Amino acid sequence: MKVSSLYTAYNNCLDVLKTCKTKICNWQRTIHSEHPAKWSAMDDAPQKKGKDIISVHVARYKKKYVQVINMFED
């Protein structure tokens, strides 16, 4: 691979990172200040329900949140 190709790929990555950082910063502004403390206090241990293991770390999207998820797919 040529040096110019690596440089171009590097610049493209920087552009993507800047875009992602902007989107995350904009999203963070919509979070109320008391939410992070509540989230930190929540129990995140997996729970057993019948034969199933329920984890808060597995995404289960409700229809109203799909719009937020789509915001990061650009």
pLDDT per residue as tens digits for the range 12-48: 899 999 999 999 999 888 888 888 888 888 888 888 8
Q: What is the pLDDT of residue 62?
A: 62
Q: What is the pLDDT of residue 63?
A: 62
- Can you give the residue ranges of every domain in the chain? 3-71
pLDDT above 70: percentage of residues in the chain: 77
Residues in contact with 53: Cβ distance below 8 Å, sequence separation at least 6, in sequence order: 46, 47
Q: What is the pLDDT of residue 19?
A: 93
pLDDT at residue 74 tops 60 = no
The answer to whether residues 35 and 43 touch, using CB atoms and an 8 Å cutoff, is: no
* Tokens read off for 48: 């057993």
Q: How far is CA 7 from the centre of its chain?
A: 28
pTM value is 0.40
